[in-house]
Structure 1
Amino acid sequence: MDTAKLELAAQRYREAEAAFEAARADLQSEAVTFLRQTDERGAQAAVVRITGWTREYLRRLVKNSEEKPA
């Protein structure tokens, strides 16, 4: 059994997971900021199209961001 390979794979997984979580947080923040800064018709639909999120998820995301102190 090669534990070094297992440890390396586990470390790469943890790093990838952390990068994924950071990217998700960035995307959520950018989406909320975009929606708050525009009154453009179809803005919500554009975010849904670009992200693949549902309108319901997007509404919850915006609502939750309003409840958190800036």
Structure 2
Amino acid sequence: MSADKTVIMLNLAAMALFLALAIMLHPYWMFGVIAVGMNFTRAILNGQCLIVQGLRQLGLRPGSLFD
């Protein structure tokens, strides 16, 4: 049980640290999140996502969205 509690406490500490950084960098962090999300979406739509490339190398077709 104690190992589970330490993992939970570490996760909470990491989340608190992230929130503190986000609040300190307040004007910019939301733009960073949006930019990363848009880049990831564009990469998926262009078929440049590493997961999609791996599936293509295995001979699988992820679907028409990725074509």
- TM-score range (shorter-chain normalised) is 0.3 to 0.5
**TM-score scaled by length of structure 1:** 0.42
Higher relative contact order (CA 8 A, sep 6+): 1
**TM-score scaled by length of structure 2:** 0.44
